[in-house]
Amino acid sequence: MARTGHSIAFLSRGVCAGLASRLDCLSRFCALYSFTGALFTFFVGTMISKQPLYIQGINSSNQEITKESAFGAMGMFIFLFSSSMIYLCYHKCHDEEEIIRSQGYVRPGQRALRISDYEVQVEIPSAASSPSVSPRNSPRNSRSNEEVVDLLS
């Protein structure tokens, strides 16, 4: 019995992880499905209220209840469409922000969360250096950090 429980838990965890990784595609499908469903139920509700003779089984005794049911279903489709679109907009903005931050950029008005990876090195060209001087023994490389700071200021 315990082994069956572990198997069910493993399968459900895999299914949930698979669905969570594909929520963007599922939201697009739900948005498309609910948009077409809202259009269809709007058409059916309009047909029930304006021309009930074209739909078999609709008479004056059940016309109001079927019209309310059709427009209620349309409301549920509109809710599903709007929630799918909200998720898609949020997901799109969230992904753009993550891409920007992963590249090291920050939007204006926000503080950087980490120190830059770039190191700036400033070299001051020496007026006394000549082409015959080797790079290791050049006066530029023999200066201390204090001398370089004095030259910069």
Most confident stretch, 25-34, 71-80, 134-143: 71-80
Number of C-beta neighbours around residue 44 at 10 A: 18
Residue 109 tokens read as: 């008005």
Q: Is the pLDDT of residue 98 over 70?
A: no
Tokens 């809710």 belong to: 79
Q: How confident is the model at residue 77 (pLDDT cuts 50, 70, 90)?
A: very high
Predicted local confidence at residue 90, as pLDDT: 82
Distance CA 138, CA 128 (A): 9
**pTM score of the predicted model:** 0.52
Mean pLDDT rounded to a whole number for the chain = 75
Q: What is the pLDDT of residues 30-53, one digit of tens each?
A: 999 999 999 999 999 999 998 888
Predicted local confidence at residue 144, as pLDDT: 61
Q: Is the pLDDT of residue 112 over 50?
A: yes
In contact, 117 and 103? CB cutoff 8 Å: no
Share of the chain above pLDDT 90, in %: 26
Question: 57 — alpha (psi -120 to 50), left (phi > 0) or beta?
Answer: left
